[in-house]
Amino acid sequence: MKNFTYVLNPNREEIGRVSKYFDFPFDYLGGILDDYENARFETDENDNNLILLQYPSESNYGEVATFPYSLIWTKNESVVLALNHEIENTEIFDRNYDFKRYKHQLVFQIMYQLTHVFHIYLKDFRARRRKLEVGIKNSTKNDQIVDLIAIQASLIYFEDALSNNRKVIQKFIDYLRKEDEDGFADKIYDVFVEMDQAYTETKIQLKLLENLRDLFSNIVSNNLNIVMKIMTSATFVLGIPAAIFGFYGINVPIPGQTFHWMVWLILVVTIVVSVLVVRLLRKKDMI
């Protein structure tokens, strides 16, 4: 693909050389240096076109964040893709392209592939959420909430990125129709549909996670309350023998102390009283 240039993790000097070689503005590529660069579509006076969108990639914090990529097609039919985080590009490089429609097919394939990555991560989020739902019922720890927060943070990035991407792609489609590129516009609309589906699913998953997070907090709190109730009841029941034995252990004359079988009577009374107390606590749902 001699008309395709792939720029990965460039510095400012490298961006300057590429921009000068293809004769387009520095910020066409410079935007990827800022991870929070807004998505946009631009055309300069030399008929060079930029579509800057955001795509998902794993960050250093255990989350899946979104980062900008620049896709440029120049006046001399060259295509430049620049990004700061590597992607799975097998589908892009291993395809056969029609020479006459090379630029259009390559631009479409890049946009479609990067959009498809959103769906891959969303599928993984669904599986992780279902796993959390299965293990959440008996949880008394906060371990699972860490994974839940990571998924929720990732989906917030997705929601913002996909919302902006949809707007930019719609502008791009409108531009293509004005340039009588209706056939290419229809292909790009397929990308818009995929992105819109990802946006809808992201919002749904965010709502489900919000409900799951509230449920998780309630279940953890309820389970801890049950544990505390059991511990309190157990302490109360175990205090009965201690009180009886403590009473008969005082160093003063007490009834029955001269009878040899008195120790067995004390044990029997203690057991009976403890059993009656346990039944009473169960009846009142206190144990």
pLDDT tens, position by position, 120-170: 999 999 998 888 877 766 554 566 777 888 899 999 999 999 999 999 999
Instruction: Find the DSSP H helices in the chain.
Output: 12-22, 27-30, 90-93, 102-135, 143-178, 182-247, 262-283
- Residue-range definition of the domain harbouring residue 60: 4-222
pLDDT digit string, tens, across residues 69-116: 999 988 887 899 999 887 877 777 777 777 677 788 888 998 999 999
Instruction: Report the C-alpha gap between 39 and 32 in whole angstroms.
Output: 10
Quote the pLDDT of residue 75. 81
**What's the chain's average pLDDT?**
83
Which of residues 178, 198, 222 is at a domain's end? 222
The whole model's pTM is what?
Answer: 0.75
Residue 267 sits in the same domain as residue 136: no
Q: How many domains does the chain have?
A: 2
Task: Return the pLDDT at 96.
Answer: 77
- CA neighbor of 189 nearest in space, from 278, 112, 102, 282: 112
Quote the percentage of the chain above a pLDDT of 70.
87
If asked whether residues 129 and 108 sit together in one domain, one would say yes
66 with 10, same domain? yes
